């Protein structure tokens, strides 16, 4: 039972403008060794744990629906966040997970896939 979790993420996507501020291939502004493997942005008018908009990774699927979420722990910022994956293939989901699990001792993440069973109850 998902208690409407995925429906609420869908609603956030539907009701807020998606701003891509770090296109695929761009570098992180403070950590230039980090290259974004997919388009990355945020939902305008929302707020995540870090005070900025809710983060969104955008994949290549034509239908831009929520496919997963990534929960991160960042020891440099001393925070945790949930990042939405929108229209991501299974390979893209793993790419995002690997981006956040980059062998550093300061960042780690887990992936929560939006399952077919959950889709049937939407």
b/e code 47-56 from CB counts within 10 Å (16+ = b): ebeeeebbbb
Q: How confident is the model at residue 117 (pLDDT cuts 50, 70, 90)?
A: very low
Give the Cα-Cα-Cα angle 65, 70, 74 (nearest 5 degrees).
145
Could you tell me the residue ranges of all domains in the chain? 5-120
The fold for domain 5-120 equals Inorganic Pyrophosphatase (3.90.80)
Q: How confident is the model at residue 116 (pLDDT cuts 50, 70, 90)?
A: low
Q: Give the Cα separation of 30 and 85 in Å (integer).
A: 23
Q: What is the pTM of this model?
A: 0.89
Please say if the pLDDT value at position 122 is more than 50.
Answer: no
Summarised one tens digit per residue, pLDDT across range 42-96 is 999 999 988 899 999 999 999 989 999 999 998 888 889 999 999 999 999 999 9
Residue 15: both structure tokens together: 């009701």
Q: Give the Cα separation of 99 and 94 in Å (integer).
A: 9
């Amino acid at each position: 039972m998902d208690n409407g979790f995925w429906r609420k993420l869908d609603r956030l996507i539907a009701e807020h403008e998606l701003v891509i501020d770090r296109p695929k291939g761009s570098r992180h502004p403070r950590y230039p060794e980090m290259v974004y493997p997919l388009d990355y942005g945020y939902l305008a008018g929302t707020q995540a744990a870090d005070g900025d908009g809710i983060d969104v990774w955008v994949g290549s699927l034509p239908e831009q629906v929520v496919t997963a979420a990534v929960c991160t722990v960042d020891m440099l910022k001393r925070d945790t966040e949930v990042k939405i994956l929108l229209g991501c293939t299974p390979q893209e989901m793993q790419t995002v997970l690997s981006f956040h699990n980059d062998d550093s001792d300061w960042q780690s993440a887990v992936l929560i896939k939006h399952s077919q069973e959950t889709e049937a109850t939407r």
